[in-house]
A and B are shown apart, each in its own frame.
Chain A
Amino acid sequence: MKPSSFRYAVPTTLRAAIDIRAASEDSVVLAGGQSLIPTMNFRLANPEVVIDLRKLDELNYIRVGGGMVRMGAMTRQRVVEEDAEALAANPLIRETLTNVAHPAIRNRGTIGGSLAHADPSAELPTLLTTLRGTLTAQGPSGRRSIPATEFFEFIFTTALEPDELLVEAAVPVLEPGEGWAFTEFARRHGDYAVAGVAATLLVGPDGRISRARLGACGIATVPALLTECEELLTGNAPGDELFAAAGQVARDAVTVSDDSATTKAYRRHVLAGLVERTLKTAMTRVGVPR
């Protein structure tokens, strides 16, 4: 389990990184390496060129402002998790990140690495999708923003062009009093989940849900937006029955088929329960000052 050999490129500027990415037929981008290096150790990936972004300090930042939390692609997940300003602005980010693998992995794993890897079972892509976040790509012809709901196209497949790099991920801050939660069920702590659910709830002065955002991982070929649940919830008064009904509605969002360890019917069952639970947890945080 050793990687095969490769050309190793270490750019010191984003410009140079994009140039070499554009110039390479068969390259991979090494950020934190926590998903890439296992696949190279198994020799499932045998790239000709590895572009190591470790010197791109310009992609290592967390900026809160303009209603957004912006994270540079090379920011370590653990750094974001521990960032007080990000926590104050959007506590769902930390709750999601603490479900990603284990601390030793998050110490190395980056925001951009996980998002560009686009594993539909992963937590971060689900966070971005649920919150209708934005991903910023940069290529030879410049920067462009891609809504998270369009960024993830299939398992391990994104809207990035072959010559583009993911440079930033941004999610909106939560409104004052907005409730939030991330819940997942994995067979083993820290593993990719059977299913996971991210949710936010905003309740208006009339006591009804004015905005609900729900997304799930592990159930489809992309991080799934549970729009039917969102519609069911919005405009209604929150309560256990409503949340249970949302869980039932969510079941149909499961599109992955049976695999040898997990049936589709079981995944549907888990998703329903998690949606209900996540909403209940989010509700406990509605109106609570942060």
Chain B
Amino acid sequence: MSTRQFGARVQRNEDQRLVTGKGRYVDDIPLTGALHGAFVRSSVAHARITGVDVSRALALPGVVKVYTHADLGALDVQMPLLIPHPCITHGRTQYPLARDEVFHVGQAIAFIVAEDRYIAEDAVSLVEVGYEMLPVEVDFEKAAEPGAPLVHHDVPGNIAAHLVQESGDADAAFAAADHITSIKVRVDRSTAAPMECLATAARWDEVTGELTVWDGTQAPIGLRGALASLFELDEHRVRVIAPDVGGGFGPKIHFPYANEVLVPLASMELRRPVKWIEDRSENFVHMTHERGQIHEIELAATSDGTVLGLRNRFLHDTGAFIPYGIAVAQVAACQIAGPYRIPNVRVEFSCVYTPTVPVTPYRGCGRPQANFAIERAMDQLAEELGIDRFELRRRNFIQPEEFPYTRPNLIFADGLAVTHDSGEYEKALTALTDALDLAAFAKEQREAWAQGRYLGLGVSFYVEGTGLGPYEGGHVRIHPITGKIFVNTGLTTQGQGHETVFAQIVADQLGARVEDIIVVEGDTGVYDWGVATFASRAAVVSGSAIHKAAVLARKQVINAAANMLEADPDDIELADGRAFVVGSGTAGVTLAEVATASNPLRYAFNKAAQSATQFAPAARSDGPSLGEGAHPGIEATDYYSPPHATWAYGVHGAIVEVDPATYGIKIHRYVCVHDCGNMINPMIVEGQIAGGVAQGMGGAFYEKLDYDEDGTLRNASFMDFLIPYATEIPHVEMIHQETPSPLNPLGIKGVGEAGTIPVAQVIVSAIEDALKPLDLPPFRMTPLSPSLIHSHIAESGNRG
């Protein structure tokens, strides 16, 4: 009897190749005779281009081709606005190569193709671009003010989109309140900085007329559609493969980037494979950013702390273009009320153009900002009402019996009203406060303060709508020769362990070993339909689809085995890679034998196949070899389309010490209580959370993109954009809570982004708590830094 794999800490199928250096990331794919590309990028934030002289670059030995927009023909078109929404009144998107105007530092102007990257970079420095400078306003709050310089001359006020949503009657709630608190908070711009930058390689096969594109994308099927459309190729002639991808975290969901157009074009025109591997300095000014938002949030409460209403107005910095629509702002808007009942919510946002790198989702996608806003406001409300901050939260939680809990008219990214499906919020908070032992901490804190040490406790509760539609598919096939199981889905992995967790799901249905299940995804040549990896949706949506397909395959195996073993299907059991009659003590048949026997053959190419040929006694029947409606072999495909998002949640707390000499912080404890429904593999869940917390730590205290007034990114390197090392990241204690989602057959919720969401508030509120003796105003921004803490203290007149 096989043990259940779902829920087990199974080691990963993908690791053997990755630890032996046999991973295959885009730049690892050997393409004989490949040319290498490099982009000429704008060095200024906003200018009219007065001329592009490529002659010296073209003359350089080893340079094969230089593209400017004038060389693009039919491809010299605006790239699609991928997710339209009626509130986008002024949608502007980029061209593959800038035409007569550039809108941000780093925008692609020309593409050089050369024998190697060294020569391509030499040529980049030989291209002369003439600029006629235009005025800029980089600060998005100022950019939204009247009279600010325009990013796009025909977009008044720099406003791309504006949306107001109201659930309940917010103004009535405010009129009825005993107490109103309001706070304005700012979250600064950041970047995902995956370890592998963007990368594209392409090969055009003249014989078949097929274009193969290897691309570090989260959305190969989407990219195939875009390329088929741009190049006017039938879909089956475009194959997009996302091989091993060195981290995604959101920005690789956006497409098509300039490289995703230029590299295929060059390979088709030059009849040679072409590669473009983004380097780190380009990544900072090319790959999309996120996080810049300013929230004004008001809470209307009764004197006992019941929050009746919430009003939130925020500005969302969308950069120079809005190719991914309002996704980030919309997700922020829908998460603004957090885990709290708050029956009356009005949320209004404007997406503001700035002459900076465009903004698309980055792990958390607006949720970290919304979490920071609501949780800062809750802290302030607790302070003002004199109610303990944990107690205030408790009084407002949606209770277990209230699920499903809908916020009517607050429309999420799946086009449906926000509906929290299940959870035990209060239980999670209690688990956290028990783990942190608040009473013991209070004593410790008093003692620390008495010694001139600054020890504080921070907390943040988050909710996360995960597992968005529209759908994903799953395909399961048993290989007749090896008996291994081939599993496919349309989305991609960038380290989340899909090759293992999807295998675990299938293993339970087919009684196979996890290591005998081969999961291949991210290849449009293998699986045609699906959406992509984003919104913590892979396990929920693809996992459910694969489960459904595996259930179908299981039925096929049982029926075939019952025929082969002349037994009742109800008596067939699947385990250890075999089908057998339960309790018979006989070996039964292997999955390979079942697969072979289910596939009537003409040719006896091996021993197993001999018994499956159409003339073999076992396969003979009165009718045709394959009955009406049947298909050969063991193979099934099914789809899962969620009724709406499933809502994961959790609460993090930390004990932080602030060093008054340096304002550096030391995290003594970091505790995370989370609930992502049933866990497929707790080891992988914990890895996702630990990684998320680390990225959240970056956003809380280290990582901030620093544009100067002219729109130049000052810290476009790993020397200056401070991604934490192991020394800056705490050990995370994890407490799992598993409330199944009622929405899908496995009861799972997403976890990919969870860890990142609450960290800024945890750290900032802990620092604030630690510095209580200094009687400071609240901290209203993230990321903080030692220098910012120092300035905050100095500005409060406390001491410098």
Contact = CB atoms under 8 A, between A and B. Distances in A.
Tell whether A and B belong to one assembly.
yes
A185 B728 CA distance: 13
Contact of B281 (A5, A42, A189, A265): A42
A188 B702 contact: yes
Given A263-B787, A265-B790, A187 B661 contact: no
Nearest to A247: B661
B639 to A, nearest CB: 44
Contacts of A7: none
Given A188-B702, A260-B708, A266 B661 contact: no
Interface string B676-706: 0000000000000000000000000010001
Contact of B661 (A1, A2, A276): A276
Contacts of B663: 266, 269
Interface string B730-757: 0000000000000000000000000000
Contacts of A29: none
A81 B727 CA distance: 21
Of the listed residues B660, B708, B785, B790, the one surrounded by the most CB atoms of chain A closer than 10 A to its CB is B790
Contacts of B708: 260
Contacts of B715: 261
A194 interface: yes
Interface string A18-58: 00000000000000000000100011000000000000000
Given A187-B786, A260-B708, 7 more contacts: A42-B717, A185-B661, A188-B722, A260-B706, A263-B787, A266-B790, A269-B800
A262 interface: yes
Contacts of B279: 1
Contacts of A188: 702, 722, 724-725, 727-728
Contacts of A13: none
B800 A1 contact: no
A273 B722 contact: no
A187 B122 contact: no
Contact of B662 (A42, A43, A185, A189): A185
Contacts of A276: 661
Contacts of B772: none
A-B pairs, top 8 by smallest CB distance, nearest first, are A273-B661, A189-B727, A266-B790, A1-B279, A266-B787, A185-B662, A2-B118, A262-B787
Given A188-B702, A265-B794, A270 B662 contact: yes
Interface string A175-211: 0000000000101111100100000000000000000
Nearest to A188: B722
B706 A261 contact: yes
A189 B723 CA distance: 11
Given A1-B281, A42-B281, A185-B664, A261 B785 contact: yes
A78 interface: no
Interface string A106-138: 000000000000000000000000000000000
Nearest to A268: B800
B186 to A, nearest CB: 16
B702 A277 contact: no
A274 interface: yes
B654 to A, nearest CB: 19
B118 A191 contact: no
B790 A190 contact: no
Given A188-B727, A260-B706, A261-B787, A194 B722 contact: no
A12 interface: no
Interface in A249-272: 260-263, 265-266, 269-270, 272
Interface string A209-244: 000000000000000000000000000000000000
B663 to A, nearest CB: 8
Given A1-B281, A189-B725, A270-B662, A265 B800 contact: yes
B119 to A, nearest CB: 9
B669 interface: no
Nearest to B704: A261
A270 B789 CA distance: 12
B791 interface: yes
B280 interface: yes
A2 B786 contact: no
Nearest to B281: A1
Interface in B249-286: 279-281
Contact of A191 (B280, B722, B800): B722
Contacts of A2: 117-118, 121
B125 interface: yes
7 contacts: A1-B281, A4-B121, A188-B727, A191-B722, A261-B715, A263-B790, A263-B791
A121 to B, nearest CB: 11
A5 B706 contact: no
A5 B122 contact: yes
Contacts of B786: 185, 187, 194, 266, 270
Contacts of A277: 661
B714 interface: yes
Contacts of B787: 194, 261-263, 266
A262 B720 CA distance: 12
A137 to B, nearest CB: 29
A265 B714 CA distance: 21
Contacts of A263: 787, 790-791
A277 B664 CA distance: 14
B662 A194 contact: yes
Interface string B652-681: 000000001111100000000000000000
A42 to B, nearest CB: 6
A113 to B, nearest CB: 17
A187 B787 CA distance: 10
Interface in A140-188: 185, 187-188
A280 B702 CA distance: 29
A196 to B, nearest CB: 11
B785 A187 contact: yes
Given A185-B662, A187-B785, A43 B121 contact: yes
A122 to B, nearest CB: 13
A117 B600 CA distance: 75
B122 A4 contact: yes
A43 B786 CA distance: 32
Nearest to B716: A42
Contacts of A38: 719
Interface in B91-133: 117-118, 121-122, 125
B121 to A, nearest CB: 5
B790 A273 contact: no
Contact of B790 (A5, A187, A269): A269
A49 to B, nearest CB: 17
Nearest to A195: B662
A191 B702 CA distance: 13
A149 to B, nearest CB: 27
Contacts of B281: 1, 42
A61 to B, nearest CB: 31
Contacts of A191: 719, 722
B209 to A, nearest CB: 35
A68 B504 CA distance: 65
A4 to B, nearest CB: 6
A156 to B, nearest CB: 15
Contacts of A3: 118
A185 B280 CA distance: 26
A213 B708 CA distance: 39
Contacts of B727: 188-190
A191 to B, nearest CB: 7
A42 B787 CA distance: 28
Nearest to B724: A188
A273 B662 contact: yes
B199 to A, nearest CB: 14
A4 B123 CA distance: 10
B274 to A, nearest CB: 17
A191 B117 CA distance: 29
A187 B697 CA distance: 13
Contact of B725 (A5, A190, A194, A261): A190
Contact of A1 (B280, B662, B724, B728): B280
Contacts of A194: 662, 786-787
